[in-house]
Chains A and B, each alone.
Chain A
Amino acid sequence: MAWRDSRRSRSRLLLFISSVILGIAALVAIYSLGDNLRQNIDTQAAALLGADLEISGNQPASPKIKPLLDSLGEDRSEERRFASMVYFPKGGGSRLAQVRALEGSYPYYGELETVPVSAGRSFRDSRHALVDQTLMLQYDAKVGDSVKVGEVTFLIAGTLLKAPGQTGVSATVAPAVYIPLRYLAQTGLEEKGSRINYLYFFKYPPKTDVERIAKGLESRLDLEDLDSKTVESQKESTGRSFEDLTQFLGLVGFIALLLGCVGVASAVHIYIREKLNSIALLRCLGVKSSQAFVIYLIQIVGVGFLGSVIGAALGAVIQQFLPLVLKDFLPFALITEISWSAIGQGVLLGTIISILFALLPLISVRNIAPLRVLRASFESAPASRDPLRWLVYGLILAFVFLFTYLQTDSWLDALVFTVSILGAFLLLLAMASLLIWLVRRFFPSSWSYVWRQALANLHRPNNQTSILIVSIGLGTAFICTLILVQSLLLKRVTLSTSGNQPNIVLFDIQSDQRDAVLDLAESQGLPIIQSVPVVNMRLEKVNDVTPAIAQKDTSNRVSRRIFGREYRVSYRDTLTEFEELKRGRWEGTAPANGPVPISMEEGFAERNGVKVGDTLTFNVQGALLTTVIGSLREVDWNGVRTSFLVLFPKGVLEEAPQFHVLLTRVPSSEGSANFQRAVVQRFPNISIIDLGLVLKVLDELLEKIGFVIRFMAGFSILTGLIVLISSVLISKYQRLQESVLLRTLGASRKQIFSITALEYFFLGALAAATGIILALAGSWGLAKFTFKVDFEPQFLPLLLVFLSVSGLTVLIGLVNSRGILSRSPLEVLRQEA
């Protein structure tokens, strides 16, 4: 019966379900991506690490551990990694880069991908360097040119395309320059105070249980503050970060699916309304209410399944393009394969969720009385009183919750997501309703009939105006938030460099270089905005708690995280205007005897469970120093200036190994380049951060992240447009009736065309406005509370989004309404004949 009843409506039924196709496609594509990532990580993990075992630390290996390091593996390589200025003599440009001084045959798995290919191996043999392609491009350097690192000029042997574990994003932030390790000493960059990472790579014979070896080394490495990585741990950490990514994308795809499902519910609602008489007739002929319900349920299951299969097939196609979208985030070339498990999950999910959402209108089938056949105006009991309806709502929420739990593996996250998604839908719906109400309420009654009729059309019976506004609005909100946040972030950095704020930061200035650098800046007429000493130290003990105790005793109030870091502290006798004393007493000069009273940043102290009066023992490059937390400060971290988690008073650290940081302001980019060149040539060890460059890098980074978000927002907007197409086609009969009636009453083709176009314009405009207003509200919140800047959104891009969304809606509406204009007015009579 279900099959026969659907005979004349199968294409329409499929149309209803088409709104879920994209959601399923998005999910299948993302699940497949997840599966492919897992497989690729498994097969390429060794190439990601480049070795079987990596040991790293930020101090040179001590004589105690050196023999051990020399005995591990069958082959060993060594690398020192640090930030330093590199200088391109040909063009005179210089920039902060990540210098990697390498010795040995690393990588043992995978390659340093270079152009020419041989350079990846051969550069180690002489005074050659490999330079990342972003740097080569930026400074228009060619293979055969030279690059100066510290005091040594290297010949550029090749352009570095990819190093193990490196992604497009990491190359943008810190482009790498490889040099042979044996020239490092000559560069003069291995000074004390420089922040250098020491890495040791080991290759083992095949089938060696490296995992077990690493486990065995753990305690000894811990004592020396060294970390280890194996292929297995690399797999885990890479897998974990990509799981987060696919999880995030999966949830965004799920939102697109939910939007589509709301579209399905409203389309099925209309379908059932049109079927009321057939159902009543069936009831007259003796069909039980439950049988009538099952007839339509079977139809929905059928099309839901079919829609999901189509969605899954589309997803399998889209999946081929996802690696392109994500290429800057992937540390390896992703090989895609069809994931049958992802397709299976998609089909199952699509079928279940379309049934769940279609159940809402379907349950009303049970209440259709046979009397309807005789009296068309017979009213059934209002659906909202049906207790089953609440059960279906409950089922939907439970399903969303369960699905999210399966994605995130956290009850709390699932709850937060479910409540948020419900809240966001209700908010969008409320916003949409409010806008519609406002437009209706305040629409000038003096405007022409065409405008008023177009607006009134949004309220035609069985309209899908609200869901269309919600789905298109949500996509618009995503895109606009992205645009607004992007400009907020850039503005935040631009602001930091405006006025008299510093825009150049020099660090790693050695004590004996300090005066000369200050003189150099002054000779170029640059202001010294700040010059502060920085001392590196590590924390050995908090009261009597050592790292080992904190590790074992998790109930201890002192967090073990407090030990894992290197502290860069400064000393002075006063607090700055950006610091506010919150607790305890600040002492500017250390007392002659007893522990040194230090000041800690309030939030950091709270996060790590320490308070005023706690005793902290620091290791200042070999010498132990006992301090006590004398005060807690609130620090304003915004702006370009040096701020410190831990601040010492004067009179203690003056003689400790230290470097200095200098902040200045260069008025023009040309002046900046001159100053940087002068500094790099005279003091090659000094690193310079140019805020102009940071701005550029940030812009590129945001562009890359933005691409992924736009891609996902596209799904939401497309779903909205498919719901729109389905809604236009569903209401086509009614539109035909209306336009034929208007033709009969004397409307011209132009008037009917205008009414139709304006109706879609109103729809698109209301949806876009809903999205833009929400995005503005969200970004205002971010600006005020997170970035703490004045909110001055750029309206031009928003206007463009508004026009694009409205224009697209009008276009799709008109294309799908074609044929309405050409109908003969005689049909108004024929409908009655």
Chain B
Amino acid sequence: MNSILDLQSVNKTYQSGGRDLTVLDNVSFSVETGASIAIVGPSGSGKTTLLGLCAGLDRASSGSVELHGTKLNGLTENQLAALRNRYVGFIFQNFQLMPTLTAIENVMVPLELRGEKNVRPVAIDLLDKVGLADRSHHYPTQLSGGEQQRVSLARAFSNQPQILFADEPTGNLDAETSEKVIQLLFDLNQQAGTTLVLVTHDLDLAARTQRIVRIKGGKIVSDARV
């Protein structure tokens, strides 16, 4: 099977207090198209940095990151943005909805940024799938946490991404709501055949993916299929 994401000998160092701080140390792994993978590890282990590099939100200090067949190293910020818009979907712990837009407008953003017209039906369809068709004209502040995350899910799938990055998607939700959102995430993922990269503390959640990569001190300590 082809890999959609491929990391080779990736290092990431930051300057901190005049010293180099290595956050990721020689990380290599690849993800097959359509697979689901969880990156787990304790706080400060480098999970979020790794996710940022994979999604083209940050640049590696050395090594190579290839997303959907494109090497990210040499791309400009605008080229990276275009790539994300075309192939990547995101789900965040804090939902990250635009507070000034309604639910449906938030779902439409990735498509509209691309310059697509008549995207409202697509957004309505997605909101319907996440059970929020009747709340499409509500602003984020008028929605509960679970509802906001469902809008965020609809947005993540709106541009039919090849790969979905989810950063602690249930971190801010109670157990019951978490379960509903996760179920929805996996169902949509399955329907769309999207690759899923999940960063989480929650081992139960990680166990629902096909593969778990454990990271500690910036190094991959295990990489196991579930």
Contacts and interface: CB of A to CB of B under 8 A. Distances in A.
A825 B155 CA distance: 17
Nearest to B84: A746
B90 A744 contact: yes
A826 interface: yes
Contact of B113 (A737, A745, A828, A831): A745
A741 B96 contact: yes
Chain A interface secondary structure, helix, strand, loop or mixed? helix
Contacts of A457: 100
Interface of A: 448-449, 452-453, 456-461, 734, 737-738, 741-751, 824-826, 828-833
Given A746-B82, A746-B85, A832 B113 contact: no
B84 A745 contact: yes
Given A460-B99, A744-B84, A748-B78, A826 B57 contact: yes
14 contacts: A449-B108, A449-B113, A453-B98, A456-B98, A461-B99, A738-B98, A744-B84, A745-B84, A745-B85, A746-B81, A746-B113, A825-B81, A826-B52, A831-B94
- Give me the 10 closest cross-chain CB pairs, A-B, nearest first: A746-B85, A449-B112, A456-B100, A826-B58, A832-B93, A826-B57, A826-B52, A825-B57, A746-B84, A833-B48
Contact of A832 (B83, B94, B114): B94
B27 interface: no
Contacts of B25: none
B101 interface: yes
Contact of B109 (A449, A460, A749): A449
A776 B220 CA distance: 70
B94 A745 contact: no
Contacts of B173: none
A751 B57 contact: no
A459 B99 CA distance: 9
Contacts of B6: none
Interface in B74-92: 77-78, 81-86, 88, 90, 92
B110 interface: yes
Which size bracket describes the interface of B in this complex?
35 or more
Contact of A461 (B88, B114, B141): B141
Contacts of B90: 744-745
Contacts of A448: 112, 115
Contact of A828 (B88, B92, B101): B92
Q: Tell which of A449, A457, A734, A831 has the most Cβ of chain B within 10 Å.
A: A449
Contacts of B108: 449
A825 B92 CA distance: 13
Contacts of B85: 745-747
Contacts of B94: 831-832
Interface in B100-143: 100-101, 105, 108-110, 112-115, 141
A742 B108 CA distance: 12
Given A746-B82, A746-B84, A829 B48 contact: yes
B188 interface: no
A212 B130 CA distance: 95
A741 B57 CA distance: 11
A749 B81 CA distance: 9
Interface in B21-48: 48
A504 to B, nearest CB: 64
A828 B96 contact: yes
A435 B96 CA distance: 30
Nearest to B139: A459
Give the one of A734, A828, A830, A832 with max B CB within 10 A.
A832
Contacts of B109: 449, 742, 745
Contacts of A828: 57, 92, 96
